[in-house]
A and B are shown apart, each in its own frame.
Chain A
């Protein structure tokens, strides 16, 4: 197999600031993305801590309601656009070229721009915390007419969304061009690792949905400053129109966050079950089906706004359909583990937890997708519990799994397994203490996005807050583990995990600065040995 690992003879790196600001190297840019995502994870997390502190007891304790609403809004924007998406793109940057035997991303300079936009876009957004009228407080969904009451922060919010959209679209185009044009000769589409598949499908979602959001927020801007009436019934428009436009983006966005996570666990579970992925082709088709269906279900976020009954029924049934391909995926992950020689290193622990907890989030999603019962759950803490199961114990757990799985490849060192397991168990317990009681709160009628609540909700909120603080502190352990791993530790082999398959494990650990400058020779025999 050493024929595949092209030993690099001129591993020269640019030095100093130029290396990072002018980079055209997918590994460096991937690292930048991942560090940025982790930083934003803590900034967004700090806002979540403020939220949970305020909700620790009924009554107004620490912050004024306007600021609380800002925290809710900016926490969501940061976690979605600043943490989960960039972490996914960072992984794509690092791993896709390695997995398909490409020398780099197809368009390396544009790749650098996609990254560097992020800190500047968030500078625009976070600067609003210090402005007249405070940061945006109308919710990350930016519904008019409420969002039009935003103070000086308003144009900054809109332009930050435009700016982030530009970054994501460039990143998506780059991934598509890389996957379709840069695969090592001999690797067919149906031989690509599933992580690559999920990312290329995610990229199509990005390209098709983000420009629609850009259009929608542009209409908000013109409604506020130029006298248009897109979202004002007094001029023949409709505030609900914004919700349609927003969720036409917003629902695919949910899968933009989730599909790369599916790809990650589809890499990790076979590695630690020491079996090939069960039902590879059905996994690919299921991912594509979910992506296509995601464009036809958006109004299930809007059941209570007064849609015609036929519309509600259509969107309810379309939503139910998504359970089918998702079920296929969960079945395949479990079937992969079935009778496998399983070991439970940290990446596997996070992946198994992902399968279980994402499924819980999926089931609560099914409940919310049923129109008549959604009338009760809509805008309650049940929704908050649902999407945090999908995003935190779903997407973030998968990202954590990915970090542990590939850290040896990135740093050349094994992380501290004992600390990794402690991080996992503390995260698992605290996140469930944090979010499980919120189901009960929501079913009992506690509304979301409110700093105060009725006394009857006090106990569960206190439990939830304790879980929240515990989860927040636990993540500091992750930073320590990552830094410790980067500084040193047991040397990682090229194939850092016994059961790990794929081209990325054929190059040395840490992966040299340049890999696959000439494509590896992938004969049928080599490919069979790879998977």
Chain B
């Protein structure tokens, strides 16, 4: 306790209110677009621009404070807890979509085809009595309403390559961390660059797969519950990879500027945690969406 330092409490800051406003404008623009208001997209763009401005400004403040040595060990622990629990909330967001996937496969599709309740399932008899369960479900209970697709994206094509890319990026980011802890700045930047590159290659391949699925396989978001879960799960994951890769790029930029020390580099670690989280989500996707 003798070593107890004073916990750094920042002075008043404009960033929280700028952040709030930017989210408000973004949501407002989005809602206007859904209601077919023409000005919506401009409002949305203003909101996103404000959001970017907020992130840049807020993090610039935090980085400046960190470099000025205002953060004690205890502040560092607060940041770590903040990032850790934020990632848990992200895990739960994905859990909702995985839950929907499991529910469709285990319950709603079998029930629609007459399983359950001892075979006396009214849903099946009264709605679409000819519907047969299958997975991937490419014959819709009501074919008039949803688009039938020719095929789904096979697991052991580009998705398997993407798995390898992401797993490799998890390794390279760890090499970068080891290099940082040994103060080997060249290796740090090189491995970070490799990680960012792998991330963006993943996104590029994923975009290619989307184009292939939509154009050649007729697999769209309108493709029933398979299309819904496929695009929402991989789409949100792809968005998170993109964000993670941008964050890694920022870390690369900062490491080139000479930021981070052997012992003090929480921003690096936070982004690395985030990257591993994105990696683990992908493994779940690869297994449950593509493979089995």
Contacts and interface: CB of A to CB of B under 8 A. Distances in A.
Given A177-B82, A235-B145, A21 B17 contact: yes
B108 interface: yes
B87 to A, nearest CB: 10
B13 A219 contact: no
Nearest to A203: B85
Nearest to A212: B96
Contacts of A398: none
A103 interface: yes
Given A120-B21, A235-B142, A208 B88 contact: yes
A214 B93 CA distance: 7
Interface residues of B, number: 74
Contacts of A214: 93, 96
Contacts of A117: 20, 23
Contact of A104 (B9, B85, B112, B146): B9
B82 A173 contact: yes
A343 interface: no
A230 B16 contact: no
Contacts of B58: 109
B227 to A, nearest CB: 7
Contacts of B74: 181-182
B88 A235 contact: no
Given A107-B82, A212-B92, A156 B97 contact: no
Contacts of A116: 16-17, 20
Interface stretch (B161-169, B218-226, B242-250, B255-263): B218-226
B104 A154 contact: no
Interface string B210-253: 00000000001110111111011000000000000000000000
A238 interface: yes
Interface residues of A, number: 81
Contacts, number: 232
A113 interface: yes
B24 interface: yes
B1 interface: yes
B100 A241 contact: yes
Interface of A: 14, 18-19, 21-24, 102-104, 106-110, 112-113, 116-117, 120-121, 123-124, 152, 154-156, 159-160, 162-163, 166, 169, 172-174, 176-178, 180-182, 185-186, 207-212, 214-216, 218-219, 221-222, 225-230, 232-238, 240-241, 244-245, 248, 308, 514, 517-519, 521
Interface of B: 1, 4, 6-7, 9-17, 19-21, 23-24, 27-28, 30-31, 34-35, 58, 74, 77-79, 81-82, 85-86, 88-97, 99-100, 103-104, 107-109, 111-112, 116-117, 123, 127-128, 137, 140-142, 145-146, 220-222, 224-229, 231-232
Given A121-B24, A212-B92, A214-B96, 15 more contacts: A22-B12, A103-B7, A120-B21, A163-B27, A169-B86, A173-B81, A215-B97, A215-B100, A222-B221, A230-B225, A234-B141, A235-B140, A236-B109, A236-B137, A238-B108
